Amino acid sequence: MAVGGTRASARDLRIAIEHAGEVSALLLRPPKAETLLMLAHGAGAGMRHPFLETLAQELAAFQVTTLRYQFPYMEHRRKIPDVPSVLTATVRAAVRTATEQAPGLPIFAGGKSMGGRMTSQAAAQQPLDTVRGLVFVGFPLHPPARPGTERAEHLARVNVPMLLLQGTRDQFAHLDLLHPVCSSLGPRASLHVVEGADHSFHVLKSSGTNDAKVMTELAQTIASWAKTV
């Protein structure tokens, strides 16, 4: 799906981070935008990864503006992620930029895998001004083959609604562990399960659906949930 049948164009921005220089960002705003979602990238791929590009386009079709941005290590083409304090500082800087760029729009924050988890860690440390809720596109609950829930402990200190989008084949989040985590958070947490999807939301041909339909499902779910917050 695309805005008006064509791909919308994103605007290049720069985000200044305290004590960590600047990073690149992309603002994609549809003509009748209703909300804004900050999308931080995962550990191994930057903001221009095809997954985030496709998701941003799909969200634009549902009138969701997106702000994608780089973490400093990715901006400078380093392989190892920055220390958590730099990652969370980047999230806070992106919140300020989103607020400046889209005054009046309800703002949500989150991202893919590590990007979502760093967003929630920032929110757990101190509430993110102007952010109404968090969106996790594949929350990395644990490393593959090392099931556990320690990575979710900080979510108890997040005071805004959260939407978790998770595939049933995601090796980074066994659903038998994630369901109790969400239950413990009560009405603050909403879990949307995508049948047959892995951590990249890729589905097998035998699933009866395809990756393109899954991306539309993710975007529509996010847009609909944001209207309820």
Q: Residue 220 maps to which CATH number?
A: 3.40.50.1820
What pLDDT sits at residue 20? Answer: 81
Q: What digits encode the pLDDT tens for the residues 176-209?
A: 999 999 999 999 999 999 999 999 999 998 888 9
Kindly state whether residue 1 falls inside one of the protein's structural domains: no
The residue type found at 110 is: G
Kindly state whether residue 3 falls inside one of the protein's structural domains: no
The yes-or-no verdict on residue 60 having pLDDT over 70 is yes
Kindly state whether residue 131 falls inside one of the protein's structural domains: yes
Q: pTM above 0.85?
A: yes
Query: Once rounded to an integer, what is the mean pLDDT over residues 27-53?
Result: 96
What pLDDT sits at residue 4? Answer: 45
What pLDDT sits at residue 115? Answer: 98
Kindly state whether residue 4 falls inside one of the protein's structural domains: no
What pLDDT sits at residue 27? Answer: 98
- Top pLDDT among 215 and 104 is at 215
What pLDDT sits at residue 3? Answer: 47
Kindly state whether residue 99 falls inside one of the protein's structural domains: yes
The yes-or-no verdict on residue 219 having pLDDT over 90 is yes
Q: Compute the mean pLDDT over every residue in the chain, rounded to the nearest whole number.
A: 95
Q: What digits encode the pLDDT tens for the residues 62-103?
A: 999 999 999 999 999 999 999 999 999 999 999 999 999 999
Give how many domains the chain has, as a whole number. Answer: 1
Q: How far is CA 126 from CA 123, 144, 168, 182, 202, in A?
A: 5, 29, 32, 21, 34
What whole-number distance in Å separates Cα of residue 87 and Cα of residue 132?
20
Q: What percent of the chain stands above pLDDT 70? A: 97
Kindly state whether residue 201 falls inside one of the protein's structural domains: yes
What pLDDT sits at residue 59? Answer: 98
Q: Which domain holds residue 108?
A: 10-228
What pLDDT sits at residue 6? Answer: 57
Kindly state whether residue 2 falls inside one of the protein's structural domains: no
Q: What digits encode the pLDDT tens for the residues 111-127?
A: 999 999 999 999 999 99
Kindly state whether residue 103 falls inside one of the protein's structural domains: yes
